[in-house]
Structure 1
Amino acid sequence: MRHLPMNWLRWAMLFSAALLAGCLDKEEPMIEASSQTCTPQFWKTLAEGKRRDDLVERCMTRGGYKHSVPQTF
């Protein structure tokens, strides 16, 4: 049985890692908060996760959230 050179093993591991890196966390486009997307029925069609949570947060604060003015006493 022939032993493979260690350099070949390192290249194989590096190549495998590069291929797997493309499979992780693909960035999905952000859904715009509108009257069509800000309904519970639409939210139920989305998979659970950060994308849906971000949309719900934008819908809940749409138009009604205003930063408070700092006050000094």
Structure 2
Amino acid sequence: MNRLRWAMLLLAALLAGCLEKEELRIEATSETCTPRFWKTLPESKSRDSLVERCMTRGGYKHRVPETF
């Protein structure tokens, strides 16, 4: 009986990491790329991802290799 309890406890611990919520992905638009909108979102990976996409939206360009 004691082994069964340990097995159940181990199984529960292993499955605990699998039950995370899926993060909401918000598209980077003119309305969502404002600090006022960011402040309404809870601190999470999705908010950080949105801010990063807004900061690099349209401004980042790959460098063209120069040959001499």
Whether 1:17 and 2:30 are equivalent positions in the alignment is no
TM-score, with structure 2 as normaliser = 0.73
Identity over aligned pairs, percent: 59
Richer in helix (by share) = 2
TM-score, with structure 1 as normaliser = 0.69
Structure 2 counterparts to residues 1-73 of structure 1, below 5 A? 5-18=1-14, 20-23=16-19, 25-73=20-68
Letter in 2 for 1:49: S
Q: Point out 4+ residue stretches in structure 1 off by more than 6 angstroms.
A: none
Structure showing greater radius of gyration is 1
Q: Unaligned regions of 5+ residues in structure 1, if any?
A: none
Partner-residue secondary structure (3-state), 1:11: helix
Letter in 1 for 2:24: P
Q: Unaligned regions of 5+ residues in structure 2, if any?
A: none
Cα distance in 2, alignment partners of residues 14 and 72 from structure 1: 59
